[in-house]
Structure 1
């Protein structure tokens, strides 16, 4: 494959991303669903590619209207870009004061961990009782709800190489499919929950019908709105600020790569010599992808910058722009190369996982959030619900609808929780290790570990933060009606 073919494949990807944006601006029902342009463009690629058009039109190439080289580039892209997404998460962020962070992050973290661990509990139990014995699915399907819903398209696509190495290649396609269900369902169900919350008085800030402006639905700013994309922290005559931040992202990923290689080196010289019953070596980090370590690399780089008092040159808004670019191209490439054949062959397992994932997310939000979060429980909890259904951006969209002027501590508490939560769930170490652990030990060890974690998260939330939440409501006169669901 020539460099020109790789470059042309990327140009086509950008072209379809722009078409997706045009469709978002021009199509009413797409606007009401708040569908990201990357999902729209990815769906077009899927329809015009080998999965649909290539099968429907006789005489057309097996790649649809695209070449085999384009499809090869797009299939490899998510596994590369996911490290960029994770490396940028904490670069440029100031750490909060311990006292305020502890007060806000506690109940938020209990809810987040409960949502993440419950997706494993439900998925693994479903795999053990139905998917494996009845539908002959792989035991590793039990990890797909958390990977697709909590992790999103990036994590699902980024884990493809690991699952292929473990003989579960169709798992990546199922996870990407679940991620699509999750992100669309997160917006649709989330807005329905917000309308219900407004009608029943469970939202403190939003009163009346939920309305968004036409510009918001189109995903555009008005001409009189001015939001700076980032802050210039370097003079372009020295180095372009965007280039500087891209270089910092590269360093963060390299730090993560060095950590992963060190862990693999230690593993190879210690317990990897132990052979399991099926003559498989006891290896875990050999199957761990790079992206969760890239996140840790970003945290280390930010800590070093703060220690050297040069952290002012790292602008978090610039990092968010880089992250957004990587995520858009990742999603459109992941959906465009999704295998409908793999989903069709496992449609029963796919449907059960999707229904179970949605069900446990809605149930925990409605039951647990009002019992462990004090004031603004709806505004704060809806963000975690959105993230557990799709990606962080889904949670932010729902929080913005319920708290458009950021009057509640929802955004602040959500951000603090991410500092503790992201290194483990939603693409962190737990997500990365889950599939290899199931492959090596079976369903039950991870199931009981996640069940214990779920019980701890719910127990701490109810018995430690619950009384605080009730006291906080009593002080403001909100009473106990908020927990009646």
Structure 2
């Protein structure tokens, strides 16, 4: 594989990101569902690639024909298949760079109710998934019990986390889990938006929202995914002079440092395990930990350093988010474009059981527990956590924007504070990364019990601590 072939694959990828945007603009249904262009472009590439168009044309043109792989050569799809596992490191390294670190008291006061609710939902996904695996998937279909972790990986973690776990699945002898996780992530985003909008409309009719719903919260041009001229803002601040270093180059360098710190941590943990508990017990877990959660810790370490020594405020959060956003678009588009439909078809019933179990638990938790655990503006705040639990953080932000377009409630701020404690553990954090190796090494039952205990703790704190505040405040 040459540099030219890699470069051409990237050019075609860019073309299909634009194709996804054109599809979004052309189809009103996709506008109403607020589907990202990266998802639409990924599906377009999947349909025109070897798995759909190629399989349809191969019997007619011959297996050696150019058309046997659709519109793309094998080289292009090979490059695309490698990108999600790389981009996830950029995304997670960027999570906290450029954010001033608030005090733990502020995080707890503002984000505590949503943290407890999200904690219950996240750990509950492991409980539901492992129950399905232990009772059905393993004894009936012969699937490894680590499949019970796929709901949390696919739903809470999303496409990025699924991509980051690909090498772990392969090392543990269950490579099909990657395609199942990407499939679950896609189902999660689609159902998260659809079900979320349904919940919002039902709540508006029942007057469960603290604010009056604005039916015109999104204009026609906003549904197209275009900013109005009067609302356009700079993508980032020029914190450095270009003759010294291009600001974008500087911020990419900061993200690179965070990833390198994470890589150093990864290698250090592997080396430490090799001469300590790994050698004593012959049980090795650190070898299977992917880089992305440690890259996130690298970003936190870097930000703590910047909080103290960056007296010129050189790191701009908006610029970091542009790099993160580009990486996420690339990741989602290429992950969907290269998903194995054969694997989904082979494991369709287990896939369906995991998808239904995950969606059912998220909806049930929202409907039954959210109001009892979040003392004020419960719907505006919980709908964001529901969206995140179904897919990506952006889904949660979208749903919050619909119910609180002018940011009149503390929902957005509390959601942000919650992420500071939540994301290092669940939704792609250390717990997500460790879950599959731990289940593989220690068995599913210990992890099921631990997950159940963690979910109950989240529920108890929400009900008996934050819920009590609601009662006292009337």
Q: Give the structure 1 partner of residue 177 of structure 2.
A: 171
Q: Give, in angstroms, the shift of residue 274 of structure 1.
A: 4.5
1:252 pairs with 2:253: no
8 Å contact kept, 1:190–1:382 = yes
Contact 2:55 2:69 (C-alpha < 8 Å) held by counterparts: no
What is the Cα deviation at residue 65 of structure 1? 1.4
Corresponding position of 2:190: 184
Q: Are the aligned partners of 1:305 and 1:311 in contact in 2 as well (CA < 8 Å)?
A: no
Q: Distance in 1 between matches of 2:69 and 2:284?
A: 37
Quickly say closer, same or farther: Cα 1:7–1:208, change in 2 above 3 A: closer
**Retained in 2: the 8 A contact 1:199–1:208?**
no
Deviation at 1:137, TM superposition (A): 1.5
Partners of 2:105 and 2:149 in 1: CA distance: 35
Partner of 1:416: 417
Normalised by the size of structure 1, how large is the TM-score?
0.94
CA contact (8 A) 1:302 1:311 kept: no
Q: How far apart, CA to CA, are the structure 2 residues paired with 1:331 and 1:92? A: 24
Q: 1:102 aligns with which of 100, 103, 108?
A: 108
Give TM-score scaled by structure 2 length.
0.97
Q: 1:273: Cα distance to partner?
A: 2.5
Q: Deviations over 1:377-421 (max 9, x none)?
A: 101100000000000000000011111111111111001110000
Q: Is 1:36 the counterpart of 2:42 in the alignment?
A: no
Whole-angstrom distance in 2 between the partners of 1:79 and 1:464: 40
More helix by share: 2
Distance 2:232 2:285 in 1: 48
- Against the structure 1 CA distance between its residues 121 and 11, is the aligned structure 2 distance closer, same or farther, given a 3 Å change threshold? same
What is the aligned partner in structure 1 of residue 21 from structure 2?
21
> What displacement does 1:106 show?
1.4
| Residues 238-265 of structure 1: CA deviation (Å, up to 9, x unaligned) | 1111000000000000000001110000
Tell me the CA shift for residue 158 of structure 1.
Answer: 1.3
Which residue does the alignment assign to 1:161?
Answer: 167
Aligned partner of 1:91 in structure 2 is 97
Separation in 2, partners of 1:56, 1:42 = 19
Q: CA deviation at 1:201?
A: 0.9
Segments ≥4 residues shifted beyond 6 Å? none
Q: Which moved more, 1:26-35 or 1:211-220?
A: 211-220
Give the distance between the partners of 1:407 and 1:5, measured in 2 at CA: 50
Q: Name 2:148's counterpart in structure 1.
A: 142
- 1:306 and 1:213 map into 2 onto residues whose CA distance is 39
Deviations 1:266-296 (A, max 9, x none): 0111122356xxxxx4110100000000000
Counterpart CA distance in 2 for 1:179 and 1:331 is 10
Match of 2:87 among 42, 59, 81: 81
Output one character per residue of 1:300-352: Cα deviation in whole Å (capped at 9) or x when no partner. 00000111143711111111111000000001010000000001000010000
Q: Distance in 2 between matches of 1:379 and 1:216?
A: 21
The answer to which of 211-220 and 119-128 deviates more is 211-220
User: How far has the Cα of 1:221 moved from its partner?
Assistant: 0.8
**Structure 1 residue matching 2:139: 3-state secondary structure:** coil
Q: 1:97: how far off?
A: 4.3
Partner of 1:284: 285
What is the CA distance between 1:209 and its match in structure 2? 4.5
Q: Is the 8 A contact 2:213 2:403 kept in 1?
A: no
State the partner residue of 2:6.
Answer: 6
- In 2, are the aligned partners of 1:140 and 1:435 still within 8 Å (CA)? yes
Secondary structure in structure 2 of the residue aligned to 1:146:
helix
Distance 2:98 2:312 in 1: 7
The alignment partner of 1:132 has SS state of helix
Match of 2:204 among 198, 219, 234: 198
**1:356 corresponds to 2:357:** yes
Structure 1 residue 157: Cα displacement: 1.2
Helix, strand or coil at the partner of 1:313: coil
Q: Which segments of 5 or more consecutive residues in structure 2 lack a partner in the other structure?
A: none
Q: Aligned-pair RMSD on alpha carbons?
A: 1.3
Which secondary structure state, in structure 1, belongs to the residue aligned with residue 284 of structure 2? coil
